[in-house]
A and B are shown apart, each in its own frame.
Chain A
Amino acid sequence: MYNFEFAKPKTVEEAASAMAAEGAQALGGGQTLLPTMKQRLASPEVLVSLTGIDGMVGVSASGGSVTIGGATTHAQVAADVAESYPALAALAANIGDPAVRNRGTVGGSLANNDPAACYPAGALGSGATITTNKRDIAADDYFQGMFETALDEGEIITSVSFPIPQKANYQKFDQPASRFALVGVFVAKTPDGVRVAVTGASNEGVYRWTAAETALNSDFSQAALEGMSGDADDMISDLHGSGAYRAHLVGVLTRRAVAACG
């Protein structure tokens, strides 16, 4: 790890001003950033920790949605939305291991947008709104490819608001080593229609499987997806699975998610 300056602001405004410094990098729970820094593959000059900002930690529910502070840990989300949004709680409860869940944050995960992370599927599948220190961004506009998001330089995710669907389920098939999603599918049945978000599979990062959504909008059942699978040409192919395998898993997991929705 290279040397760096460390800032731990108390307010979003202080954080935003700290982020204006040359070489500044926001730090959530550090579950990706710190290992990367230890390997000397990242060298921020200033680390701006977001976990000391009171207003950015915690969960509140109102008007049919849950709003989660950007610096809220996975463990807290798993506990606090267990009744209001069990599918999201289950997703959070199955990220990494207890040490990761007690450090990693929802804002950190969404800002990093790892193509195999779970939260991008949860946010996109739920039709969440990502709120920053500058604006609200719809999930449909937020995810822009592997590790790419709509965030501007220095922009901070302060909270994420998840509308609670009528039914929802997340199916994750573990990559055997990292236990990130080899493929993960989040299915949500909402008053505005079904949303299917897929993580882990595509070269373009998390995406909505619109063909499946169309099929499920007319018939929300496994049978509606019979014979359907993802497009192998767009899929990641690596030592853990070919594109064809991932495309196949997209279909299997989507059917299982629909079945689990009941």
Chain B
Amino acid sequence: MAADGGMGHATKRREDVRFLTGRGRYTDDYTPAKTTYCAFARSTVANGKINSIDTSAAAEMPGVVAVFTGEDFADVGGNPAGWLINSRDGEPMKEPKRPVLAHGKVRHVGDAYAAVIAETLEQAMDAVEAIDADIDELDAVTNMADALANTDTLVHDEIGTNQCFDWGWIEDNRAATDEAIKNAPHVTTLELVNNRLVPNAMEPRCSIGEYDPGTGDYRLTTTSQNPHLTRLLISAFVMGIPENKLTVHAPDVGGGFGSKIYHYGEEALVLAAAKKLNRPVKWTSTRTEAFLSDAHGRDHVTKIELACEKDGTFIAFRTETMANVGAYLSNFSTATPTFLHGTLMAGNYTVPNVYVNVKAVFTNTAPVDAYRGAGRPEATFSLERVIDKAARELGIDPVALRRKNFIKPDQYPYASAAGLEYDSGNYDALMDGLEKRADLAGFEARRAESAKNGKLRGLGINAYIEACGIAPSNLVGVLGSRVGLYDAATVRVNATGNISVMVGAHSHGQGHETAFPQVVADMLGVDPMSIEIVHGDTSKIPFGMGTYGSRSLAVCGSAVFRATEKIIKKATLIAAHMMEDKPENVDFTDGEFAVKGTNKKVSFGEVALKAYIPHNFPLESIEPGLEETAFYDPANFTYPSGAYACEVEVDPETGKVDICSMVAMDDFGNVVNPMIVTGQVQGGLAQGIGQALLEHGIYDENGQLLSGSLMDYAMPRADDLPNFVVDHSHATRCTHNPIGVKGCGEAGAIGSPPTVVNAVVDALQRGGHDVDHIDMPVSPARVWAAING
């Protein structure tokens, strides 16, 4: 294997050199000659009828070269939902059209209804102000219960309801679950809110459209987590541009967290405008536009019941959730609250009965879609909060109650009552590790110390499992996905022995440029620095499905592995030819091919050169060149799991919560780069703590986003966070992918919110306050209000 930098090494991220020295190249850094600038007119009302839009004055403004309204796109397609969900009665979900620009109605504050293209951005913004839009403000609906009850106020008049679907999982388990709960000795019930989050990637969205009239080729440079999917959506659904005439390129991207998975109307608009003007068209989102128009996350209102025996043995979980999808269906908005949520509602537990009902609701708010964790944080929060409450009601230690119901190591593969087959795990080992690393035994002493300072100390425990490495196509197809979820890689060994690896995954913070070469270097026995990852440009890479759902290494990394296996197989043929022996007599180790039992050997580099200078080549049995592609479609999700502990101090006078410690024990299977994995967990923990304590996308009843800027939307900062303890040494390999890896990108954001809230409730309970639950964000004002009834 590679002496340094192969699998398992904490290799420093090579891409950080350019990021940290200001040499990253993001979409907005790219300004082709003759670029024009685009600004959007966005609705200031949450629900309104567009009577007319007079753009004549705007069109006459200095520098303006074009003005577009929804009318210009009335005949093109809508931006589709990528996942078909059927309601319990068999009816397909309601799918109102999501147009490029609002047409006829505006449906949320920030809904774009016109666009101006001008020579400068300032001119475009000036002209937007000159657009005379006659829009009748209508009553808005932002609260989900109101939206379901009140059919006088509709987000989409043509569907006659605000309910997108009413989904049951698993519908056949409904009666048995109801019966089990009815007859159970103990039932714990909890009503909770999973707060809406605004993603706030550091780099706002940006899109540049170009058109070459000589060839008819379009080029879209854009902030995307998955350029091929964006190309497919634009080609097949929205604009009808042939896929082979459209290149989508996502260069360096400054964070996505889900919000850049989706195709947005701005991308279609800059392409259409570029063709009309025969000039490049650039749009860069302001932070304000990002708040109003990026797809938000979470936003569930849930009732969960846990039925158990008196001894704490779980009998059933029953969940009723309303999931906000906002004003339009974003691409994965229907999958997130259903198959990424309902299928996880058995957690880590041997519970026999699980039933989940999810009603997806249209409201006059920004669209809601997958955000780091996507459904699994919602599932974990509901489960682990109600389990904590049950432990208190039953008088059982929260660790003991979880352990009592854990799936045991000898039960894998385990078919959960929510329809998934977990391949591997060892939850007791994680909990054993947690007890040590978090020093649970020492908690009481620390609590007494806090009490001396007038602080209430609490301990929160959590166990999670999640399903990620989003795939396999066969399974998601059955579940309603309209796309496949494989991934692809091409390994190109160049004549001089260095290697280009073209991957379908997209790196926007995950460190692929470092981690993927570690896999290849390990297999080929070459220097990882001789391997370059190429990603993000549909004209250069094979058709992959991008990066989200903690899938890059598990799915695309496995494609890289498979393609590298093919390279070794072919290189062995060439080596055998060079050494004049049979391939089956040739071994490949540490970058050298050798004939067994002889001292004949050739290096990998010599074989690479020979592949491209095929003099004296047996062309009837070996093609020249050394380049292989693999498409990899896994057999199952991967199932990372973890046990987390958090200690907090609550100031009972102000309600302020300080996190004293956060310990994350995760099972990610085999780990390729432990430093990158630790960083991923740390980032996830920060986002999870942000959700638990700080972040809240909150609309008023008129549909105005009250927390619409960083002055009111609280992002976590370094001093909000403790020093994290991150440990992924308690690993069980994934059984079905060739690297044995499980996804790690979302775990921290999935595991931490219930851990924090459990700790706060524990602190208040131990402090003598009768508080069962506080909704997130657990702000000082909410804690104080809870303490003071």
Interface residues of A (CB under 8 A from B): 1, 3, 39-40, 173, 176-178, 182, 239-242, 245, 248-249, 252
Chain A residue numbers with a CB within 8 Å of B710 are 177-178
- With the chains together, A3 CA to B712 CA distance in Å? 28
Q: Are A241 and B653 in contact (CB under 8 A)?
A: no
A9 to chain B, nearest CB (A): 27
Chain-A contact segment, one of B218-226, B354-362, B777-785: B777-785
Chain B residue numbers with a CB within 8 Å of A182 are 780
Known A239-B712, A252-B653, A252-B654; judge A245-B707 contact (CB<8 A): no
Q: Which chain B residues in 536-564 approach chain A with CB under 8 Å?
A: none
Chain B residue numbers with a CB within 8 Å of A248 are 784
Q: Are B694 and A176 in contact (CB under 8 A)?
A: yes
- With the chains together, A173 CA to B122 CA distance in Å? 39
Q: Are B707 and A178 in contact (CB under 8 A)?
A: no
Q: Are B654 and A177 in contact (CB under 8 A)?
A: no
Q: Are B784 and A245 in contact (CB under 8 A)?
A: yes
Q: Are A239 and B707 in contact (CB under 8 A)?
A: yes
Chain A residue numbers with a CB within 8 Å of B712 are 177-178, 239-240
Q: Are B711 and A177 in contact (CB under 8 A)?
A: yes
Chain A residue numbers with a CB within 8 Å of B779 are 176, 240-241
- With the chains together, A42 CA to B226 CA distance in Å? 39
Name which residue of chain B comes closest to A178, CB basis: B711
Chain B residue numbers with a CB within 8 Å of A40 are 125
- Contacts A173-B654, A177-B710, A239-B696 known; list 17 others, CB within 8 Å: A1-B122, A40-B125, A173-B656, A173-B780, A176-B779, A177-B714, A178-B711, A182-B780, A239-B706, A239-B707, A239-B712, A240-B712, A240-B779, A240-B781, A241-B779, A241-B781, A245-B781
Q: Which chain B residues in 105-124 approach chain A with CB under 8 Å?
A: 122
Q: Are B713 and A177 in contact (CB under 8 A)?
A: yes
Using an 8 Å CB-CB cutoff, how does the interface string of B755-789 with A read, 1 for contact, 0 for none? 00000000000000000000000011100110000
Size of interface on B: residues with Cβ below 8 Å to A: 24
- With the chains together, A39 CA to B707 CA distance in Å? 16
Q: Are A245 and B696 in contact (CB under 8 A)?
A: no
Q: Indicate whether B183 reaches chain A with its CB closer than 8 angstroms.
A: no
- With the chains together, A181 CA to B654 CA distance in Å? 14
**Residue picked from B655, B712, B781, most chain A C-beta under 10 Å:** B781
Q: Are B653 and A39 in contact (CB under 8 A)?
A: no
B29 to chain A, nearest CB (A): 20
Q: Indicate whether B698 reaches chain A with its CB closer than 8 angstroms.
A: yes
A113 to chain B, nearest CB (A): 17
Name which residue of chain A comes closest to B651, CB basis: A252
- With the chains together, A178 CA to B785 CA distance in Å? 22
B503 to chain A, nearest CB (A): 38
> Can you list 25 A-B contacts with CB-CB less than 8 angstroms, sorted by A residue number?
A1-B122, A39-B288, A173-B656, A173-B780, A176-B714, A176-B780, A177-B694, A177-B710, A177-B711, A177-B713, A178-B711, A182-B780, A239-B696, A239-B706, A240-B712, A240-B779, A240-B781, A241-B781, A242-B781, A242-B785, A245-B655, A245-B784, A245-B785, A249-B654, A252-B653
**Residue picked from B693, B694, B714, most chain A C-beta under 10 Å:** B714
- With the chains together, A182 CA to B784 CA distance in Å? 14
- With the chains together, A1 CA to B123 CA distance in Å? 11
Chain A residue numbers with a CB within 8 Å of B654 are 173, 249, 252
A30 to chain B, nearest CB (A): 16
Q: Is the interface of A mostly helix, strand, loop or mixed?
A: loop
- With the chains together, A39 CA to B291 CA distance in Å? 14
Chain B residue numbers with a CB within 8 Å of A3 are 122
B229 to chain A, nearest CB (A): 33
B774 to chain A, nearest CB (A): 14
Interface residues of B (CB under 8 A from A): 122, 125, 288, 653-656, 693-694, 696, 698, 706-707, 710-715, 779-781, 784-785
A201 to chain B, nearest CB (A): 13
Chain A residue numbers with a CB within 8 Å of B694 are 176-177
- With the chains together, A182 CA to B125 CA distance in Å? 34
A146 to chain B, nearest CB (A): 16
Q: Are B785 and A239 in contact (CB under 8 A)?
A: no
Q: Pick from A39, A178, A239, A245: contact of B698, CB below 8 A.
A: A239
- With the chains together, A182 CA to B656 CA distance in Å? 12
Chain A residue numbers with a CB within 8 Å of B693 are 176
Chain A residue numbers with a CB within 8 Å of B655 are 245
A250 to chain B, nearest CB (A): 11
Chain B residue numbers with a CB within 8 Å of A173 are 654, 656, 780
Name which residue of chain B comes closest to A253, CB basis: B654
- With the chains together, A176 CA to B780 CA distance in Å? 9
**Residue picked from A176, A239, A241, A248, most chain B C-beta under 10 Å:** A176
Name which residue of chain A comes closest to B126, CB basis: A2
A177 to chain B, nearest CB (A): 4
Name which residue of chain A comes closest to B693, CB basis: A176
B782 to chain A, nearest CB (A): 9
A195 to chain B, nearest CB (A): 23
Q: Are B713 and A241 in contact (CB under 8 A)?
A: no
**Residue picked from B693, B707, B710, B712, most chain A C-beta under 10 Å:** B712
Q: Are B707 and A177 in contact (CB under 8 A)?
A: yes
Name which residue of chain B comes closest to A241, CB basis: B781
- With the chains together, A242 CA to B706 CA distance in Å? 15
Name which residue of chain A comes closest to B784, CB basis: A245
Chain A residue numbers with a CB within 8 Å of B785 are 242, 245
B560 to chain A, nearest CB (A): 41
- With the chains together, A1 CA to B125 CA distance in Å? 9
**Residue picked from A39, A173, A178, A245, most chain B C-beta under 10 Å:** A245
Chain A residue numbers with a CB within 8 Å of B711 are 177-178
Report, nearest first, the 9 A-B pairs whose CB atoms are least far apart.
A177-B714, A241-B781, A176-B714, A178-B711, A245-B781, A252-B653, A177-B712, A239-B706, A176-B694
- With the chains together, A177 CA to B708 CA distance in Å? 11
B388 to chain A, nearest CB (A): 24
- With the chains together, A157 CA to B663 CA distance in Å? 52
Chain A residue numbers with a CB within 8 Å of B706 are 239
- With the chains together, A244 CA to B740 CA distance in Å? 55
B116 to chain A, nearest CB (A): 15
B641 to chain A, nearest CB (A): 32
- With the chains together, A29 CA to B784 CA distance in Å? 36
Chain A residue numbers with a CB within 8 Å of B781 are 240-242, 245
Name which residue of chain A comes closest to B711, CB basis: A178
B143 to chain A, nearest CB (A): 15
A190 to chain B, nearest CB (A): 27
- With the chains together, A124 CA to B739 CA distance in Å? 66
Chain B residue numbers with a CB within 8 Å of A245 are 655, 780-781, 784-785
- With the chains together, A245 CA to B125 CA distance in Å? 41
Chain B residue numbers with a CB within 8 Å of A252 are 653-654
B735 to chain A, nearest CB (A): 44
A24 to chain B, nearest CB (A): 22
- With the chains together, A124 CA to B122 CA distance in Å? 41
- With the chains together, A39 CA to B125 CA distance in Å? 11
- With the chains together, A3 CA to B653 CA distance in Å? 49
B69 to chain A, nearest CB (A): 22
**Residue picked from B653, B698, B715, B785, most chain A C-beta under 10 Å:** B653
Name which residue of chain A comes closest to B655, CB basis: A245
**Residue picked from A39, A177, A242, A248, most chain B C-beta under 10 Å:** A177
A257 to chain B, nearest CB (A): 13
Name which residue of chain A comes closest to B777, CB basis: A176
- With the chains together, A173 CA to B655 CA distance in Å? 11
Chain A residue numbers with a CB within 8 Å of B713 are 177
Name which residue of chain A comes closest to B781, CB basis: A241
A216 to chain B, nearest CB (A): 19
- With the chains together, A39 CA to B694 CA distance in Å? 25
Name which residue of chain A comes closest to B696, CB basis: A239
Chain A residue numbers with a CB within 8 Å of B125 are 40
Chain A residue numbers with a CB within 8 Å of B714 are 176-177
- With the chains together, A252 CA to B787 CA distance in Å? 15
Name which residue of chain A comes closest to B694, CB basis: A176
Name which residue of chain A comes closest to B715, CB basis: A177
B362 to chain A, nearest CB (A): 24
Q: Are A241 and B707 in contact (CB under 8 A)?
A: no
- With the chains together, A249 CA to B706 CA distance in Å? 23
